[in-house]
Amino acid sequence: MLKSKLTKLTKRYNILAFSQLNLNYWAINKVATSTMCNHLLIQTGATIDTQNKSGQVGKRMTSTLHIDRETAYTNGLINFAIVRSPYARFESCYRHFKYPKNDIQYAGSHKAKFNPAWSPDDFLDHIERVFDKGNVGNKHYSKQSWFIPDPERLDHIIKLESLAQDWPFDFPIPNFVSNSTSSSDNLQYNTDKLTHLYQEDFDTFGY
């Protein structure tokens, strides 16, 4: 199987080759990636503590599986991704940054330059400024279409909301959740602005 040279950009692509499962998993941050990494590793025979609340065990174990896009298109494995409603993904990202549950989540919030005093609309304003500069932004709120620039070249793109109904593989879907974010009251924010900022995701993935 073709190998990719591990670079910072290759890691950012977040594509993981599970050759034992005949799969390339195109992971998108804030779309159950910790859960899926752990679950796919378990399918290969690895022992994973699914009660580990940080959800980072599986991610560390997949550090050698990263490949670039061209390798994913040409290595002969099935390419699949899971996408999520842009509204739900934004809300999960906001809660992840606003209410970190452990040191790893706190570090992620700091790295993203998130201000803990921000309201959801403040956070949207920040994302707008980042996008207006032509930047893709932090991996937790980058557009899903950045992770999947050519969706027609993937074999399966599954919506998280219908994962159970649309799961295309012989092994089961996960029955656990890793790295969950804290819940809070329903978030109030400018949904029109979010729709504008993530219009490409709404159009590309049918939301």
- pLDDT one digit per residue (tens) for the chain, 207 residues: 445 555 777 788 899 999 999 999 999 999 999 889 889 999 999 877 665 545 566 666 787 899 999 999 999 999 999 999 999 999 999 999 999 888 888 888 999 999 999 999 999 999 999 999 999 999 999 999 999 999 999 999 999 999 999 999 999 998 767 655 656 668 999 999 999 999 999 999 999
pLDDT at 179: 58
Strand pairing class (66-67; 78-83) = unpaired
pLDDT of 190 reads 98
pLDDT for 64: 85
Dist. CA 37–CA 116, nearest whole Å: 28
pLDDT at 54: 52
| 40, 18 Cβ separation under 8 angstroms | yes
What's the pLDDT score for residue 59?
A: 66
Q: What share of the chain is helix, strand, coil (3-state, %, to 5)?
A: 45, 10, 45
d(CA 83, CA 201): 9
Q: At what angle do helices 120-132 and 86-98 cross, to 10 degrees?
A: 110
Give residue 13's pLDDT: 84
3 state SS of 35: helix
